[in-house]
Amino acid sequence: MKAQPPSLLSDCQILIVGLGLMGGSLALSLQGKCKSLLGVEINEKVSKFAVENKFVNEVYTDLQALPPVDLVILAIPVGAIIQALSDLGNCITQPVVVMDTGSTKQAICQAMENLDEQFDPIGGHPMCGKERLGIQNADPTIFCDAPFAMVPLERTSERAKNLVSQLVHEIGSKGIWLDALTHDRWVAAVSHVPYLLASALTLGTPLESSMLIGSGFRSSARLAATPTSMMADVLMTNRDPILHSMEKVEDEWHLLYKMLADHQDGALIEYLDQAALRLNSMLKGDTKE
């Protein structure tokens, strides 16, 4: 029987595939908390930067000819994660835990189900980031107190669940166990639709008004700056939950429009007060209606 991955994160050799903002931030956050850190990065400049700045111990240009590892973290765009999952079987033969950091889970978990038996897969999604991508913007503090969704499959072992729980704790995040469908419904509402709303707000704002832009507009529209290279796969793999969430927001928007157009000032003020109270409850983690 082949040796199983260690039970303790501190004994693990970790491989991070993709050393961009998320992978680089993970590497910095995991320094001194595991046996060793390796990276896979196809961009030569990024690879050089990662080694020179000691993000990882060693960087490889692809998944071929890798040394034995205990935990593989796929920190690349959703489409690339799905492709990498189909390639792993040709590169890794020993038992290994595989986790991703993708923003959608159903499509990824479905691909994980097809992995060979030596793989122990589990979905992951840290709810944090920046509008500016790249390893030069890596920051280990982005994980601190941020929600981190952990999405096990039926085949996921208790060992893998425990290992990922340790990782989430060590980087300072707050772990939340979810199934893939629930994750994708929730993240559509709190992440994907806000990105689309920010894009619509930006494109619907006259250019000449930009001289009056202050903190309110900046905070409302900032997500529009998120690179489409990251968001395109997200939108395409979470289409139905996003459309459902957009419909709910559209209903509220039409209600607001009608109250304002019909001079229902009292109803409008009450509506806005309710929104403020609801936001306060949501930010406190109060899920009761």
**Domain CATH code at residue 243:** 1.10.3660.10
- Single-letter amino acid, residue 206: P
- Distance, in Å, from the CA atom of 54 to the CA atom of 204, rounded to the nearest integer, reads 44
Question: Which residue is it, tokens 């590169």?
Answer: 91
Please state, as a whole number, how many other Cβ atoms lie within 10 Å of the Cβ of residue 250: 10
Q: Averaged over 1-5, what is the pLDDT?
A: 68
Asked if residue 1 belongs to a domain, the reply is no
Q: Please, which pLDDT band fits residue 288 given cuts at 50, 70 and 90? A: low
Q: Are 207 and 228 part of one and the same domain?
A: yes
How far apart, in Å, do the first and last CA atoms of the chain sit? 52
Q: Please, which pLDDT band fits residue 111 given cuts at 50, 70 and 90? A: very high
Domain count, the chain: 2
Asked if residue 195 belongs to a domain, the reply is yes
Asked if residue 17 belongs to a domain, the reply is yes
Q: Are 40 and 125 part of one and the same domain?
A: yes
The pLDDT tens digits of the residues spanning 113-169 come to 999 999 999 999 999 988 788 999 999 999 999 999 999 999 999 999 999 999 999
Question: Which residue is it, tokens 């289409």?
Answer: 239
DSSP 115: S
Share of the chain above pLDDT 70, in %: 98
Q: Are 134 and 192 part of one and the same domain?
A: no
Residue 209 confidence (pLDDT): 95
- Distance, in Å, from the CA atom of 209 to the CA atom of 255, rounded to the nearest integer, reads 26
Mean pLDDT (the chain, rounded): 94
Question: Which residue is it, tokens 């139905």?
Answer: 240
Q: Averaged over 32-51, what is the pLDDT?
A: 94
- Single-letter amino acid, residue 217: F
Residue 61 confidence (pLDDT): 87
Q: Are 131 and 244 part of one and the same domain?
A: no
**Domain interval for residue 163:** 9-179
Residue 78 confidence (pLDDT): 95
Q: Are 19 and 153 part of one and the same domain?
A: yes
Residue 133 confidence (pLDDT): 87
Residue 132 confidence (pLDDT): 84
Residues 6+ apart with CB under 8 A from 275: none
- Distance, in Å, from the CA atom of 177 to the CA atom of 157, rounded to the nearest integer, reads 14
Q: Which of 190, 191, 185 is nearest to 241 (CA)?
A: 185
Q: Please, which pLDDT band fits residue 222 given cuts at 50, 70 and 90? A: very high
Asked if residue 199 belongs to a domain, the reply is yes
The phi, psi pair for 71, rounded to 5°, reads -140, 125
Of 127, 145, 179, the one marking the end of a domain is: 179
Contact 151, 180 (CB under 8 A): yes
- Distance, in Å, from the CA atom of 234 to the CA atom of 265, rounded to the nearest integer, reads 39
Residues 6+ apart with CB under 8 A from 136: 49
Residue 285 confidence (pLDDT): 77
Q: Are 39 and 165 part of one and the same domain?
A: yes
Q: Please, which pLDDT band fits residue 289 given cuts at 50, 70 and 90? A: low
- Distance, in Å, from the CA atom of 130 to the CA atom of 220, rounded to the nearest integer, reads 15
Q: Please, which pLDDT band fits residue 286 given cuts at 50, 70 and 90? A: low
The pLDDT tens digits of the residues spanning 182-219 come to 999 999 999 999 999 999 999 999 999 999 999 999 99
If DSSP codes are grouped into helix, strand and coil, which group holds residue 210? helix
Asked if residue 4 belongs to a domain, the reply is no
Of 179, 205, 237, the one marking the end of a domain is: 179
- 204 pairs with which residues across the strands? none
The phi, psi pair for 263, rounded to 5°, reads 60, 35
- Of residues 104 and 284, the one with the higher pLDDT is 104
Both structure tokens of 63: 């998944």
Q: Please, which pLDDT band fits residue 79 given cuts at 50, 70 and 90? A: very high
Q: Are 138 and 167 part of one and the same domain?
A: yes
Q: Which of 251, 200, 207, 250 is nearest to 223 (CA)?
A: 200
Does 1 have pLDDT greater than 60? no
Q: Are 88 and 100 part of one and the same domain?
A: yes
Asked if residue 103 belongs to a domain, the reply is yes
